Amino acid sequence: MRMRKKKNLEPRMERVAALLEEDPCAQRGRWRAALPGAEELRLEIGCGKGTFTVETAKRHPQVLFVAVERVADALVMGMEKALAEGVSNVRFVCDDAARLGEMFAPEEVDLLYINFPDPWPSRKHAKRRLTYVDFLNSYRAFLKPGAELHFKTDNRPLFDFSLTQFPLAGYALSQVTNDLHRDDPNVIMTDFEARFAAEGVKINRCVATVAALPERAEQVEALSLLQYWQEGDRVPHGMERVVEQERLRRQAEARKNSRR
C-alpha cells in the first residue's frame, strides 16, 4: 500500500535536517564521528515511521543508529519523533538499500535490523527481497565477522523462504521463532508490528550471525512465496494480489476440467 503524500514535506524536512545525512556515501568509514565513543554502530533497513528506531535508540544511548528509508514521507515522521523525544544517537538516510555498500566501509556495522520488508512474492521478483542470498552476501561487505542480522516479519512464507537463504550466504541461524511476542513480550515493536499484534497475528523472527561462507552455495529452493503458502492460511501483508490471482487461476482450471 502506497503511503499518502505528506503535506508540507519540504519545510518539515528542513526542521529536522540536523538528523538527516544527505550525503551518506561521504560518511563511509566515518559514521562513528557522529557519536564519539559509540560502543556499536547499528543499521536498520526500511525504518518506516521510525518508532522501532527511536525506541531502540532510547534504550541504547551509547549506540549509534543509522536508519535507512527510501520513502521520504515515512522518514520525516521518524525524524520528527526523534527530535521531539530528544534522541540524538540516530542518523537518518533517505536512500535505497541497494546502495548500502557505498555508504558503509568493511566491518563498520555491528548489527543489522531488517523489519517487515516488502515480500516481493512472485518468482520473478525474488531477487528484490532483502533476505535473498544476493542481498545477504552484499551485507557481508560491511558487517563485522560475528555481527548479527535481526529479521522480523508477519509473512510466514517470506520467513520460511528466508530461512533457506541465510545458510547459502554463510549466516548461522539462532533464536528462530514463529511467535515472537509469546517468547519475548517486552520486544520493541515497529508500527506495522503493533498493528499486526492488535489483530492477533503471530510475528516471525530470527537472528542470523555472520559466519564462514559455505564451500558450495547453490540456489535450489522454490522462489515463489506461493510455494510456502497453503489455502486456509492467513494471507500475509503484501501477498493479497498474488494469492487472489492464484485463486482465480485455480478456479479457471477447475471450470476447464469440469467441462472435459
Could you list the active site residues?
118
Torsion of CA 74, 77, 81, 86, to 10 degrees: 100
Residue type at 102 in one-letter notation = E
CB 207 within 8 A of CB 187: no
Radius of gyration of the chain measured on its C-alpha atoms: 20
Q: Which residues contact 58 (CB under 8 A, 6 or more apart)?
A: 85, 87
Cell numbers linked to 11: 519545510
Sign, CA dihedral 39-41-46-48, equals positive
CB 177 within 8 A of CB 206: yes
